[in-house]
Amino acid sequence: MGTMDRGNGQNGVQIMFTASNNVVGGESVGARNIISGNNQEGVLITGSGADGNRVIGNYIGTDESGSSALGNTYNGVKIFGGPTNTEIGGDTTAEGNLISGHGNSGVRVDGSSTSGTIISGNAIGVDAAAMAHLANAHNGITVTGGANHTMIGGDLPAECNILSGNLFRGVSLVGPGTSNNTVKGNYIGTDGTGLGPLGNGSHGVLAVDSANLNTIGPNNLIAFNIGDGVGVESALDVTITQNSIHTNGGLGIDLVGGANNGAVAPTITQTYVGSLVIEGLSGQPDATVEVFSNPDNPGEGKTYLGSAPTIGGVFSLTVPCVTDRYLTATVTDPGGNTSEFSATFTSTVSCVFLPLIMR
């Protein structure tokens, strides 16, 4: 039971027309559904008026152990054509779904009238323990077709999605009108501890094809992905803020095709004691510079240190002394366009932390 593919010829669960405020699954093991092996979508929620539906606590695309794939042929969950305020997962550990092993994406959010979707606390592309790959064949999450005001992750620890091990990207934001979506507080490319590598096969996050006015951050951990940490391709007003981005196969942040108005990274010019003062230059007026420290050179942006405004093309930031001496920075203009990481600057301030001896 729960170990063989006996899927339906179409969708596993379908909610449509004006069916609203339904719950698929629950917070206990006994309420868990195994929604796997179906020939189309695992869960399809579609149509204007199919609002306020929740999918919580299920294994979608795996066997009952959560360790082997029994993927649905298309997406694990597809929200399409106008539903609003759909919730996939939740703000407690028990509400999170395991969504892995599918022929397309783990979750696909699609359509210009599809709005207010929340995807929180799920494991997508990994096994139930979030310690091994159980890949979706495309992206972990795809937001496309003008879908807007999607929240991926959240502020609470239990709202963190594990978006790792997928064959393409952890998150893709695609196409005109796909706007005002937020990706924050997730682990993208790591195991469930945030320490081990379970990288996605391409970017951690990609905004592409005029997916404008989207925000990546704060508090994402984006690491160990085969491609760039965050890619922005032919998209504008993509704000990338207060994340930990490191050890990706490509760049930490990569702007392609005039993305983010070609925002030019700032330059760190000097450091000096007091605790650690970091100064530099930026050609972008009235902007915000964020500074990061890294254990390696060249670095990406592993540890967020703080931010400072640019005043007359200059910024200055004072932070507590840090042990990682390799510093990088980004700049975000008033429109929300974030640059790539700057060239690495090696701090001239050595910070040595001695053990505390009590007598």
More confident of the two residues 357 and 257? 257
pLDDT (tens digit per residue) in 195-234:
999 999 999 999 999 999 999 999 999 999 999 999 999 9
β-bridge pairing 314-319 and 276-281: antiparallel
Residue 355: predicted pLDDT: 55
d(CA 336, CA 338): 6
pLDDT (tens digit per residue) in 296-340:
988 899 999 999 999 989 999 999 888 899 999 999 999 999 999
Residue 354: predicted pLDDT: 44
d(CA 29, CA 250): 40
Contacting residues for 19 by C-beta, under 8 A, at least 6 apart:
49, 50, 53
| 263-351: CATH superfamily | Immunoglobulins (2.60.40.10)
The alpha carbon dihedral of 210, 152, 132, 28 has a sign of negative
Burial group, residue 18, by CB count within 10 angstroms (0-12, 13-18, 19+): exposed
pLDDT (tens digit per residue) in 110-169:
999 999 999 999 999 999 999 999 999 999 999 999 999 999 999 999 999 999 999 999
The β-bridge partners of 88 are 55, 119
Domains of the chain, residue spans: 13-226, 263-351
Q: How confident is the model at residue 100 (pLDDT cuts 50, 70, 90)?
A: very high
Contacting residues for 84 by C-beta, under 8 A, at least 6 apart:
51, 52, 113, 114, 115, 116
Q: How confident is the model at residue 350 (pLDDT cuts 50, 70, 90)?
A: confident
pLDDT exceeds cutoff 90 at 7: no
| Backbone φ and ψ of 85, nearest 5° | 55, 40
Residue 285: predicted pLDDT: 84
Closest CA to 317 of 339, 349, 352, 354: 349
| CA-based max dimension of the chain | 74
d(CA 96, CA 201): 23
pLDDT exceeds cutoff 60 at 25: yes
| Backbone φ and ψ of 259, nearest 5° | -60, 145
